[in-house]
Structures are given as C-alpha cells and as structure tokens.
Structure 1
Amino acid sequence: MRPHTRAAAALFAIGYGANQFSSLMVMYREQAHYSAVTVAAFFGVYAAGLVPGLLLGGPASDRWGRRRLLLPALVVSVPASGVLALGGVPAVSEPALYTGRFAFGVVTGIAMAVGTSWVKELSQAPWDPDADAGAGARRAAIALSAGFGAGPLVAGLLAQWAPLPMELPYLVHVVLTLAVVAAVVGVPETRPAGAFRSGLRVHLPRRFRRVVAPMAPWAFGAPALSFAVQPAALGSRLAGFGLVYATLLTTVTLGVGVVVQSWARRLSPVTGSRLGLAALVAGLLVAACAAALGSPVLAVPASAVIGAAYGLMLVAGLLEVQRMAEPAQLGGLTAVYYAVTYVGFVLPVALAALSGVAGYPVLLVGVAVLAGVSLAVVAWTGRVREPVELPAAG
C-alpha cells in the first residue's frame, strides 16, 4: 500500500467515526428517549472539541511533524468510541455521550487538518512523483468523504437490525481504527520536527478571505441541510422508519459527493466553487418542494444534487488552500479552512429554532437565497487576480 493511501486511510477512519453519530441521532431520540435539545447538545459538544483541535493541530503539525500529531489522535479515537459505547448504559449514558463526543471532536479536528496536509505532501515528489497537481486535494477529500458516508451507513444499519444497537456501531469503529493505526505507523514523515520554526499563528492570504471564506461554510452546511433538515421537514411522514430514511439520505448525499470529487479536481477552484454553489441553490429549491409536498421520494434527488454541491465545494476549497499556502503554513491554513466549513453545521440548529416562525419550505427557500448571494460574491471576487502575498517577517 502506497504511503498516501495509508495516510488517506487515517482520514477515512476518522471521518467514519466522526459522522456515524449522524444516523444514530434518531435512535437516541426514539429509543433512549432523549429530547431533541439534548441530542442537539451531544452534536454541539463535538464542535466544541473540533475547533480547538483544528486550530491547534494544524499549525502544530507544521512545526513538529504530521505523523507525530496524527498517530496519537487516531489512538485516542479508540477510547473515545469506547466511551460512546457506554451510551447504552443507563447509569452513565448521558455523561458518556458528552465526554465521548467532545473527545471525538478534538481528535477529528487534529486528524482532518494534519491528515489532509500529509496526504497532499505524500502525493508529490519524492513520494509520488507521477501524481498531478490536484491529486492531494482529491485523495484527501475522497477519503474523508468516504468515511463520512460509510460511518452513518454502517452504524444506521447496525442500529436498526443488529443486536446491541447503542454499542455495536462504536465497537466496529474501534476495530477499524486499530487496523488503520497499524498501517499508518510506517508512513514516512514529510515535515520533520524543527523543519520550520513557525509558531502557531496562521497567516490568512487576501484571496482566502475574499474567495474561500464566503464559500467554505456551505461545503459542510450543504450535507447538514440534506440529512439533518430534510428528515425534520418531512416530520410525521417518516413515522416508523425515520432511522433508515435518515441513513438513506446521508448515504445518497455523501455517496454522490465522493463520486463528484474525482471529476471536480479537473476544474479550476473558482469554477468548482461556482458550480457547487449553483448546485446547492438548485438542490435546496428541490428540498423546499419536497418539504412543501411532504414527499420523502422527492427529497432523495434533492439530496443527490446537494451531495454534488458538497463534493464540488470541498475539493475547490482544498485546491485553493493548497495552492496559496506556504509550505510552513499548509497544516495551519488547512485547519482554518476546515474550521470555517464547520460553521455550516449551525444551519440545522438555526432552522430548527426558526421552524416555529416559518415552515421548513419557506426556510429552505431563504437559505437558497443566501447561497445565491454567496455565489454572486465568489463569482465576483474570483475574477480578480490577487497579488502574491507573503506573511510578515517575524
């Protein structure tokens, strides 16, 4: 197995573990009888760990090395999954879920920033001299997205039909991660400790602020709208099969996203961003129609279109970041990019809070309008040729 493949396996394993909770949220509401607010808090505490994991892990790996940061994060994800498996034990279930989700947020943040940078560096000379310029971004995005899709698919099926629904999904992830840890141990280091003496501060190029940042929240906001908001918008139409349906939408969204990414890296980053945002607007309008008609069938193609938008935007953002980042800042700038993408995960919470004021069809149309505004901004700012901008000395 080539070095970049083994590093990408780490992204797959961490994405698998991070997103399997998406399809299990219905289980915790229906079987464990947690309120919607409590389940949303389980999700939110993950983000509380994710952001510092990203913003500290990425720059730290620029200074001290990729493998030195990624391997411990992978190892810690094993007991994190073990703690989440205690969520089925009544006496400790709620503290275990909060603790496990927070720990998973930290290790996911570290692994995403460090692993993406590591895959990019291993996809170039001397480790892979035949790879094209966009191979690193494509490989990292596909591995992460495949993990995001496989985790909730397997977890949802196990929770629906296998024994020990609150324990077995996490134990499967433990076994997977132990195998990946063994594979990653021998991957060569691309940034030896002390190779760069940069601190943990990250320089944000002007193009990042003007072109990448307006698009980035939609990269993860798109799938969140697909598989978190659509089931809520369909409400009683899903009685009795909410868990399976949420798993279906998650799989369709992320599956299409993975397929699109192989093609997306052939586009320029600005073109990919524009197409991704345009697809998101179209997908949200279809989702609004599905919510207005109460049609679970129509929501499936909406998820497919939104999944294509996700794949296009994620790759476009990574290509932009990897082209503009100085070698000493690659991990740090990648971390900032992912941190901005995760802002999109507040959208389901915001729509749930506003659903008492306006129905989901109206809210989804409103979000489509906001995505259209972002499309106009990216289309305008992406036309401007930015001067080369270097970080200030010292």
Structure 2
Amino acid sequence: MKALSPDRRPQSWSYAALLALLMLGQATSAIPSPLYSLYAEKWDYPPVLTTVIFAAYGAVAVVAILVSGALSDRYGRRPVLIVAVLLLLAGLAVFVFAAGPGHLVVARILNGLGIGAVVVVGGAALLDVSPERAARSGTLTAIAFNVGIAVAALGTAGLAQTGFHPLLLPYLADALIALVLLVLLLVMREPHPSAGATPLGIPRPQVPREIRGRFVFAVIGAGAAWAVLGVCFSLEPSIAAHAAHVDGPFFGGVVIAAVTLCAAFAQIASARYPARTVALVGDTALAVLMLAGVGGFATGNAAVVIVTVALQGSAYGLAFGGSLRHLTTHIPAERRGAVMSMFYLLAYGALITPTLLVGVGATVWSDTAIFPVFSVLAALLCLSAVVVERVLGRRRGRLTVTRAPATEVSRMSDVD
C-alpha cells in the first residue's frame, strides 16, 4: 500500500470527526425506538408493523455492508461516506414529514443504507487515518456505537415524555449534527492511500474449511446476542413499560440506554481477557439472564426491570464482542472480506427474523405473552453456542487455523 505525501495526509481532526460520524450513525438508528409506541398510537397499527419497520432497516443495512467496503476501496472513503450522510439526511427528512407507517419504512430503509455504509467505511477510514492505533480504534468504535445509541434513546425519550414535539425535534437535532459532519467530510482529505487503484469486486460470502468450527460458534453466539438486541430496539421498550406499569416513553429510552451502556462497559472491561473465554461466559450469562428476566419482568417493579435489562446488556456485550473477536483473530488475511460478509449476513438475519416473529406473536396474542417464549428460545440459542464450542473445541486443535508463521499462531493463541 502506498503512503500519502505529507501534504495529502488526513488532517489532525479527521480521526475525531470519523468517530463522531460512527456515533451519529448509531444515534440515528436509535432515535425511532422510543417513538414507536407514539407512532403506533397515532396511526393505530399493530405490533407486527413496528417490527417490520425495524426489520426494514436491518435488511438494507446488510446490502450496504456488503457493497460499501468494496466501493470505498475503489473510489475512496470520502465519496462513500458523503453519500452515506446524504442518505441519513434523506431518511431524517422522511421521518419529519411522515404521514403514515409506510413513510416510516421508507425512512428506515434510507437510514439503513446510510448507517450500514458508515459502520463499514467509517471503521476502515479510522484505520487509514491512524493504523498504529488499530486496537484502540476498535475499543473506541464500540464506545462510540453504544454511547450514540444511549444518548439518542434517552434524549428522544425525554422529549417524548414531555410531549414537546417528540416526532420532530430529535430528527432536526440529528440532522444538524449530520450537516456539520457533512461539511467536515467535504473538506477532509481522502484517507485511503490506494483509492482508485483497487479493482472493484464485491466479496462473495464464504467460510474457509479450516475455521468453520470457530465460525459456527461465533455466529451462533453473536446471532443470539443480536436477536436479543433486535427485540430490545423494537418491542422491548413498550413491553418493559407495560410490565413495570409505567406510562410514557421515557422508561423505554432508559431500557435501551441501560442495555447499550452496560454492553459498552462489559466490552471494555473484557478486552484484556481471551476472546473464547469471554464469548463462553457471555453466552452462558445471557442464557441465564434471559430466563431470569422473565421473572424480573413479572415482578412489575421498575427498578428490577432496569437492573434485569442492564445485566442482559452486559451479557450481550460479552457474547457479541467475544464471539466477534474470537472469529476475527483467526481469519486468513486474504479471506477476511468473504468471511465477514457471511458473518454479518447471518448476524443481521438473526437480528431481523426473531424480531419479526415476536411482532407477529405480539399481534396475535400480546407482547407480555410472547416475551417469555422469546426469552426461552433466546436462552436455548445461547446455550447451543456453548455446546457447539465444547463439541468442536478439540477438533479445532487439529485444523490449520491460519497460514501465518508458527510464531504468529502462537501470538494469536495468547489472546484467544
């Protein structure tokens, strides 16, 4: 990879601006979550439509994740990020002028395309700007994601609780920040030194035989965690409010913030420990806490409900963060695009499918009736990841994990 000349290197503020953009992307994804109950009340639609609106975001985000990285390798990070921010702004505009649930689906599609591109290309641009801080960038990215979600959820829910233009002001505030970042992107120097030299090619999702056991373990654990996250972002705020007998959307925002902030803390605290151990602990803890959560919600006590979801958020952070780290440490360098494409395809499938099924169940029966069923199934999925790792763990020792030299394999084993 060629180096940039001093006069073409990214400006000193580029790193902070890209982190802010990553935070903005996740904040944009979280703004509608505390408002879904208000939209449903305003337009009188069933819970299943709420999950369809949420799932539309996840479905198109997969497309953006698959293609945006290759596009940015070929045409540069800046152009792709500029288009991504414009898509975010377009989605926010549709939210502001929405006249029915169909507009919410369109808005989420536009935002999903933009956010998917921001996640992939923004993360790659951070490495371009400061490759020597790769490990730190991963930690800061996780913090930016979760803090962005928590701030957006709490701020939006607070406005919704007061009734002061809750379906307008959160989107306008988000759009203002997006416009500032758009200006910064327009004046930012291109951070990718090989832009224009890389042939355009979309990685085909596939998993090399030598890491399939590791991949299965990682994707089951991460999929279970994302299934829990999908329900948390769509129906769980209203389910928690009903269970705790709390009126208004603010409680739902607190639920989302508790999950994401505890997940961020758990990921930071566990970064020094072996990824496999973290993933196994997270999967086991999430299974136990999903079952315990049924009892926690049944108490009808608001404090117990918040503590329950906070603990679930911590376990989610361990399960997803450990699973992803366990997988990425051992992917052959030349297969990273293909493996991560497959990983995110399955992870987003796990995000979307259970959420839709819970929405259907909540429409046919009720949200409080279907939530315990979902909790049990999510717990079983988490435990299945633990079983898979126990069964395949010994076999993995006989596989050639990477093509790296023996010294590098030894080094990777130390962190995993």
TM-score in terms of structure 1 length: 0.84
- Cα deviation for residue 38 of structure 1 reads 2.8
- Cα deviation for residue 65 of structure 1 reads 2.9
Q: Select which of 206, 216, 227 maps to 1:210.
A: 216
The amino acid across from 1:378 in the alignment is E
- Cα deviation for residue 300 of structure 1 reads 1.2
Q: Select which of 51, 55, 67 maps to 1:40.
A: 51
Q: Name whichever of 230-239 and 185-194 sits farther off.
A: 230-239
What pairs with 1:1-394 in structure 2 (closer than 5 Å)?
2-87=13-98, 92-124=99-131, 129=132, 131=133, 134-185=135-186, 186=188, 188-190=190-192, 192-197=194-199, 199-202=201-204, 203-206=206-209, 207=211, 209-226=215-232, 228=234, 230-231=236-237, 233=239, 236-238=242-244, 241-320=247-326, 322-324=328-330, 333-345=339-351, 346-354=353-361, 356=365, 360-381=371-392, 384-385=396-397, 386-388=399-401
- Cα deviation for residue 20 of structure 1 reads 1.2
- Quickly say closer, same or farther: Cα 1:154–1:169, change in 2 above 3 A: same
- Quickly say closer, same or farther: Cα 1:321–1:179, change in 2 above 3 A: farther
Q: Name whichever of 267-276 and 191-200 sits farther off.
A: 191-200
**Aligned with 1:193: secondary structure?**
coil
Q: Name whichever of 100-109 and 271-280 sits farther off.
A: 271-280
Q: Is the 8 A contact 1:62 1:329 kept in 2?
A: no
- Cα deviation for residue 281 of structure 1 reads 1.3
The amino acid across from 1:269 in the alignment is A
User: 1:308 and 1:239 mapped to 2: Cα distance?
Assistant: 25
- Cα deviation for residue 19 of structure 1 reads 1.6
Q: Is the 8 A contact 2:22 2:144 kept in 1?
A: yes
- Quickly say closer, same or farther: Cα 1:244–1:343, change in 2 above 3 A: same
The amino acid across from 2:33 in the alignment is S
Q: Is the 8 A contact 1:18 1:148 kept in 2?
A: yes
Q: Is the 8 A contact 2:245 2:300 kept in 1?
A: no
Q: Is the 8 A contact 1:153 1:247 kept in 2?
A: yes
User: 2:271 and 2:126 mapped to 1: Cα distance?
Assistant: 15
RMSD: 2.9
- Cα deviation for residue 173 of structure 1 reads 0.7
Gaps of 5+ in 1: none
Q: Is the 8 A contact 1:222 1:309 kept in 2?
A: no
- Quickly say closer, same or farther: Cα 1:213–1:301, change in 2 above 3 A: same
The amino acid across from 2:83 in the alignment is P
- Cα deviation for residue 120 of structure 1 reads 3.9
Q: String of CA shifts for 1:79-116, please: whole Å, max 9, x gaps.
A: 210111112xxxx3334322211111111111112222
Identity across matched positions, percent: 22
Gaps of 5+ in 2: 1-11, 404-416
- Cα deviation for residue 171 of structure 1 reads 0.7
Q: Is the 8 A contact 1:277 1:374 kept in 2?
A: yes
Q: String of CA shifts for 1:330-352, please: whole Å, max 9, x gaps.
A: 56654543333323323233234
- Cα deviation for residue 155 of structure 1 reads 1.4
Q: Is the 8 A contact 2:243 2:297 kept in 1?
A: no
**Aligned with 1:220: secondary structure?**
helix
- Cα deviation for residue 191 of structure 1 reads 5.1
TM-score in terms of structure 2 length: 0.80
Q: Is the 8 A contact 1:117 1:334 kept in 2?
A: no
User: 2:172 and 2:91 mapped to 1: Cα distance?
Assistant: 11
The amino acid across from 2:110 in the alignment is A
Q: String of CA shifts for 1:2-33, please: whole Å, max 9, x gaps.
A: 54332221111111101211111111122443
- Quickly say closer, same or farther: Cα 1:388–1:63, change in 2 above 3 A: farther
User: 1:234 and 1:257 mapped to 2: Cα distance?
Assistant: 18
The amino acid across from 2:65 in the alignment is L
- Quickly say closer, same or farther: Cα 1:4–1:71, change in 2 above 3 A: same
Aligned residues between the structures:
380
- Quickly say closer, same or farther: Cα 1:81–1:62, change in 2 above 3 A: same
- Cα deviation for residue 75 of structure 1 reads 2.4
The amino acid across from 2:103 in the alignment is A
User: 1:205 and 1:65 mapped to 2: Cα distance?
Assistant: 29
User: 1:18 and 1:243 mapped to 2: Cα distance?
Assistant: 17
- Quickly say closer, same or farther: Cα 1:335–1:183, change in 2 above 3 A: farther
- Cα deviation for residue 242 of structure 1 reads 4.4
The amino acid across from 1:71 in the alignment is I
Q: Is the 8 A contact 1:249 1:300 kept in 2?
A: yes
User: 1:237 and 1:46 mapped to 2: Cα distance?
Assistant: 27
- Cα deviation for residue 43 of structure 1 reads 1.7
**Aligned with 2:92: secondary structure?**
helix
- Quickly say closer, same or farther: Cα 1:349–1:299, change in 2 above 3 A: farther
User: 1:116 and 1:334 mapped to 2: Cα distance?
Assistant: 14
- Quickly say closer, same or farther: Cα 1:98–1:350, change in 2 above 3 A: closer
- Quickly say closer, same or farther: Cα 1:221–1:359, change in 2 above 3 A: closer
Q: Is the 8 A contact 1:116 1:140 kept in 2?
A: yes
- Cα deviation for residue 77 of structure 1 reads 0.9
